[in-house]
Structure 1
């Protein structure tokens, strides 16, 4: 077992977080158990975070900052920790999400990660591998904190109607996920449109993609394969995908009609919370 006194704060952001948490705790004269009692976590959990064996959450970091009087130091650091836990090939994408002023995505197979619920994210991440599923889910959901910025990006998602019917994680999970999409109705910065089956052949038939626009940097198009991501600032690619997205948004249902379709699928296909499968 790793001992706290051998933890190298330069080894990774997670190690640095653990090192700093222990330093702040000891400076406050608290044991792990005492700090745990104050922040409503177990002393064992505090110890696992201090030894870099467990990811800290935003909630834990905010409570620890308040308890230790660290002026938000751990809460600021946890953003770096979460990003460092992303797959190496995806870290650039998280940076693009954090810097973008507008994100436009077309999704053929699933709800985009920035709009996923905990249960939906857990089901998609655990489809083939349930190792460290709690931490992996927390890392994915941490990306959604970009919407809490003073100037959050404008986010547009055009999603294939088939995604609404693909039962990910069971009926309760899908009902919760569709209800989550409906919660953004009236939010001008988060917009969801459904591309209906009736649209037929469409401009996104080659697959999902995302367009990132920035205040001053060139626009970037992102596509994804199995275990790999492909960002491109090639002007021809950007021009082609921007045109495709304009056509997809035009072919999709308007925002209000999209919300009505989502609501209908949620109620008719997934029923009330806790309903058993017929």
Structure 2
């Protein structure tokens, strides 16, 4: 166990966050338990975060900032902390997501991480590996904060029908995930289209990919394998994937028809016991 007196604030963003949390708590004359009672968390959790053994969440940071009058310090630090907890190979992708003005992604078998619910994310991340699952889930969900920015990116996703049918966890969890997609229907900056099985052979048979567009920089294509990411700005690759994406979007159902299919799958495949399907 790391002792608070030897915590090095320069060791990592997580250590620095813990150092600042402890410093501001002690300046306020509060014990860990007292601060926990104020912000509705346990004193044990406060201690774990102060000693860099637990990853803070944005909600935790906002509550502590308000309680200690830090001027929003921890809320500004938490994004850096969460990004530092991503796998090394994925950190560049998180930076691309944060900088992009438009994100166009095709997904063959699961909902993109930027649209996942907590339950869905836990199921995906917990497959084959449940170590530090709470922290890894929090880190994934924190990426979705890009949609809270004043100038959030335009997000387009073409989602294979297979992703709707691939059950992750309990039926209720899948129902919640599909309900999340339906809740986005009226948001012009987040667009979900479904590529139905009836489309047959299509331009995305090679696999999932994402194209990031920026204000001034060249577009970047990102593909992913087991434990490795592959971003590239190669003009030929970007041109090819951009063309493929245009064809995928044309072959997919309209936004309205996509929502209808999602709703139908949710009600028929993942209905709660006792639900009646119209």
How far off is 1:274 after superposition?
8.8
Give distance in 1, aligned partners of 2:128 and 2:145.
27
SS at match of 1:104: strand
Aligned to 2:126: 126
Partner of 2:155: 155
- What is the Cα deviation at residue 272 of structure 1? 2.3
User: Which residue is equivalent to 2:171?
Assistant: 171
> 1:274, 1:152 → 2: CA distance?
40
Is 1:4 the equivalent of 2:4?
yes
Aligned to 2:42: 42
Contiguous gaps of at least 5 residues in structure 2 = none
For 2:206 and 2:45, locate their aligned partners in 1 and report how far apart those are by CA, in whole Å. Answer: 46
> What number of residue pairs does the alignment pair up?
275
Distance 1:217 1:274 in 2: 53
CA distance in 2 between counterparts of 1:6 and 1:114 reads 37
Distance 2:156 2:163 in 1: 16
CA contact (8 A) 1:14 1:81 kept: yes
Correspondence for 1:24: 24
What's the secondary structure of 2:44's corresponding residue? helix
Aligned ranges 1:169-248 → 2 under 5 Å: 169-248=169-248
Aligned to 1:61: 61
Q: State how far apart, in whole Å, the 2-side matches of 1:233 and 1:57 are.
A: 33
1:170 Cα offset (Å): 1.8
Report SS of the residue matched to 1:53: coil
The CA deviation at 1:273 is 7.0
- Paired residue secondary structure (2:191): strand
Large movers: runs of 4+ above 3 Å: none
Q: Please, what TM-score do these two structures have when normalized by structure 2?
A: 0.98
Q: So what's the TM-score if we normalise by structure 1?
A: 0.98
1:175–1:273 contact (8 Å) kept in structure 2: no
Gap change, CA 1:59 and 1:162, over 3 Å in 2? same
Q: CA deviation at 1:50?
A: 0.3
Aligned-residue Cα RMSD (Å) equals 0.9
Please state if 1:251 is matched with 2:247.
no
What is aligned with 2:135?
135
